[in-house]
Amino acid sequence: MKKISVIMPVHNTGMLLSKAIRTLEKQSLKDFELICVDDASSDILTLQTLELYECKCPFMKAVYLKNNVGAAEARNIGLDMASGEYVIFLDSDDEFSEVLLETMYDCAVQNRSDMCCCGYEEFYEDKQGRHSLGIHFPKEQGTTTQGWFALEDLDETALILWTSAPWKLLRREFVQENGIRFQTLSSSNDVYFSCMAAIFARRICYTNCDSPLVFYRQNVDGQISANRNPGNLLKAVEWLMEDLVHRGINVNSIKIKIAVFLYDHAAYELRASRNGEQSRKFYDDLRRFAVEHKEEMLFSHSQFRYFQDNLLKQEFDSGWFLLIGDYRAQLERRAEDLIEELNRYQKIVLWGMGKRGEAFQYFCRMKMIELAGIADRSNRNVGGVTEYGFKIVDKNCALVIGDVIVASNREIYCSLLAAHKGIQCIDLSCYCPY
């Protein structure tokens, strides 16, 4: 038995496929198999690349489907062929760190986990070269310190954390025992699989390393994410809830986590969809869901209350959802109030370099507001400067030099107040809630 089965659906990815396989060729862990399921590619270069590497790489085997079945069914076919102790699903247009498999396998075995997640970097390439769109690390939230946890240990955002980390190493026997499969949908076809895995996993862990292990390519023609139907998200979530009931699971205990996942992803779908008719129908169906479950959805996070309240009160044509995720625009709308609060202090420190943190830096640069420093939980790049010219400082230093700390999200705000009595702190999410 191999330690890991890597399952890779392939469809007309041409030169990018070669890059993906080459990064797997260089893996430090050698005891793995690569199963490439070609989903009826018509591109000659893709087929030639598969044939070349199948001859060249003893760890690889390719399956050629006669009819196009979609990425979801291709993954299911690969899963049925897998023999590894663990399985991982990788895309044929991405690239991977040389220590991806070794790091994830060691973490999963050490913690005896059903599921292990890792950090990733989004990027795109053009004629000018390679450009990063941000690095994302899965993080543990809340109550566990021993390196592993279950979904029930985490708050209402749990499904966002552990399904938005797309690269999961899963114990194959766990997947088989729970009958977890991918849904045949043109988009959102991994929602059911990812949520079911997170819900049924007794032990989840993450690789606590400073570097991303997967490099997630964006803006590729033909990507599912670029050609999606927003209505598939709600279909996947409702199928998930129906199946949980069918399996005798108490859905009420996790319904709010499912709703948070739905609203978080729905916000993206409404902004990203290019089809107005599909978006309008999705909005109406989403409102139906909100009305049906309104009494049960008592969210503790303000952004989800904000989303549900607007969904119930506002019509689609108002376009209120277009501002969701645009933190710069949200800060600009509240500029007068925020500047008034900031003017009470001499030395302002930002804590958190995520998307809200980036928007706040932009806001401060445009409004000519000086920051005494910027800190982040990872303590990376201390002594350097951000792209906006603000100095990156150590966390301990940030607590000393600032009259006030601007926390980039609610979690940071609450943890700072709990850990440091008398600290002056501003919750940035009050000004850009969603």
Report pLDDT digits (tens) over 252-279. Answer: 889 999 999 999 899 888 988 888 899 9
| The token pair that represents 79 in the structure block | 């899963």
Could you tell me how many helices (H) and strands (E) the chain has, helices first?
16, 16
Report the C-alpha gap between 276 and 272 in whole angstroms.
11
Q: Judging by beta carbons within 10 Å of its beta carbon (0-12, 13-18, 19+), is residue 98 exposed, middle or buried?
A: middle
Mean pLDDT of 85-98: 97
Residue 162 scores a pLDDT above 90: no
Max mean pLDDT among 172-176, 183-187, 374-378 falls in 172-176
At 196, the amino acid letter reads M
User: In degrees rounded to 5, what are phi and psi of residue 183?
Assistant: -85, 145
Closest CA to 237 of 210, 256, 213, 212: 256
Q: For 163, left (φ over 0), alpha (ψ -120 to 50), or beta? A: alpha
pLDDT recorded at residue 285: 96
At 54-78, the pLDDT tens digits run 999 999 999 999 999 999 999 999 9
Closest CA to 76 of 227, 180, 232: 180
Report the C-alpha gap between 434 and 309 in whole angstroms.
13
Question: In this predicted structure, which of 100-104, 118-122, 374-378 has the lowest mean pLDDT?
Answer: 374-378
pLDDT recorded at residue 372: 95
Angle, nearest 10°, between helix axes 44-56 and 14-25? 20
- Domains in the chain: ranges and CATH: 4-183+199-219 (3.90.550.10), 231-323 (no CATH), 327-430 (3.40.50.720)
At 212-249, the pLDDT tens digits run 999 999 876 554 444 578 999 999 999 999 999 999 98
pLDDT recorded at residue 232: 93
| The token pair that represents 233 in the structure block | 């998200």
pLDDT recorded at residue 145: 42
Average pLDDT taken over every residue of the chain = 90
